[in-house]
Chains A and B, each alone.
Chain A
């Protein structure tokens, strides 16, 4: 068996699902389960797969190494989680979700920069369609425009690089970029950075986020804030790890703009009074931190950070999306006292948020501490300061939110489905378990540290 199946099967099923509307949801369920199962059971050999018989720099190749294995496990696992909760309520979306699965898997597997652009567009188009369930055509339209301009910029940068090096393969490009003048690489790099930044929700380029996630329901929220965000951040990690080595001056520019993105995200989350806006601005800030960590070369911590963040955001958006839909508003004041009658959900959400903040006893703490310690070893003071400031601000607004949700006289009348509560509690238990027994995490980091440079 080969990892190509992860792209081919969902794509085939997407075509088949159009033929039979009745079977489509079941096909979706089966395919997303099969994809996740293939990745968990060790049947796919780690290898570089040549497509169409043309060897590496000439043809497209897929890279199935430990990096893509981990990122695929996270993304497909979360995808399955979301599908399990929505497959019976959003039957019309089945074909679109199958295409999205094919695109996401391709995004994480591909070793070719133009192929990456194609998968980027496939995932983006399915994301636009997923966001139409919000019934806000203007916001979706803004998303389409922003996304299309972003991917056009990515393509422009890519073509400039192709003109310079004559190759589209990531590994080959990395080799050929070694002797090239850094100033010449700056423009295409920035264009590609901006293009990918639109999808990854970096601050100056992500004006669409507020419209889409601020009105998201329990389907589009987890999908776009969790699954898609994780995939696009992992793509960033791949590019920084494999292709680009950035010069110091460019590094400084990007470092500053990312720092501003993080601080602005936290500030906007702090000043917001709407639950979903708090969550979406906090994930803007978290995306900035993840990309900073990828850029500075702390790939293993960044991978864990992205995974934790995505899992947390899937659950939070799922619960608050459905609650906001029932109440008809997502002001914090309208939701106050929500957890008084929903103690289990409250427990799950509280643990997830505390782990997101990086409090001890939860896995978020271990990851943040590890990242900070290795930053300290490398004397990277600016980055440490930014992470600490953002953590403090995050702490203030999240604790304020939790207090409001737990302690209140009035309680809103809402129903939270058993499924959502169960998922929240399960994810919370995993976070606590890994937080107390962190040997597996330590092993993971050690193993990946020894893999630096080659991920096989």
Chain B
């Protein structure tokens, strides 16, 4: 179920990227795509009823169903990178607004590019 949600989110993001012409909305779509991807990565390591992957006296063997910790570490990195890209995208959006006075790519005429 989690994975279907993730894939649905990614598709929503892609749809937004393909249909929207507003710079800010494109950035939002990009973020939705990334969130979907991050949930997908998390879902790879998730086990229903799993436990924290630390050996303790009550969970002394790996047979109890440890959750895979690696995807969670990967997601942390991916989130940080995503925030960086979003910040850069917003800075560019500000530049675009400063230069053309609009966020809408359709309103910027071909000759102005």
Residues of A within 8 A of B (CB): 114, 118, 121, 125, 128-129, 132, 136-141, 144-145, 148-149, 152, 155-156, 159, 162-163, 168
Contact = CB atoms under 8 A, between A and B. Distances in A.
Most buried by A among B10, B17, B77, B81: B81
Contacts of A136: 113
Interface residues of B, number: 31
A125 B84 contact: yes
Given A144-B85, A155-B78, 4 more contacts: A132-B95, A141-B92, A152-B34, A156-B40
B105 interface: yes
5 smallest CB-CB distances across A and B, nearest first, come from: A137-B95, A137-B96, A121-B81, A141-B92, A163-B44
B71 interface: yes
B89 A114 contact: no
Most buried by A among B10, B26, B34, B85: B85
23 contacts: A114-B77, A118-B77, A129-B88, A132-B92, A132-B95, A137-B92, A139-B113, A140-B92, A141-B23, A141-B26, A141-B92, A141-B93, A141-B96, A145-B30, A145-B89, A148-B85, A149-B14, A149-B33, A152-B33, A152-B37, A155-B78, A159-B71, A162-B71
A87 to B, nearest CB: 24
Contact of A125 (B17, B44, B88, B100): B88
Contacts of B30: 145, 148-149
B77 A149 contact: no
B92 to A, nearest CB: 5
Nearest to A162: B44
Main secondary structure of the interface of B (DSSP, over half): helix
Nearest to B38: A155
Contacts of A132: 92, 95
Nearest to B33: A152
A18 to B, nearest CB: 16
B108 interface: yes
Contacts of A156: 10, 37, 40
Nearest to B98: A137
Contacts of B10: 156
Nearest to A124: B85
A145 B96 CA distance: 14
A138 B37 contact: no
Contact of B96 (A138, A149, A163): A138
A137 to B, nearest CB: 4
B41 interface: yes
Interface in B60-109: 70-71, 74, 77-78, 81, 84-85, 88-89, 92-93, 95-96, 99-100, 105, 108
A168 B30 CA distance: 25
Contacts of B105: 138
Contacts of A145: 17, 26, 30, 89
Contacts of B99: 137
Contact of A144 (B37, B40, B77, B89): B89
Nearest to B100: A138
Nearest to A167: B70
A125 to B, nearest CB: 6
Nearest to B113: A138
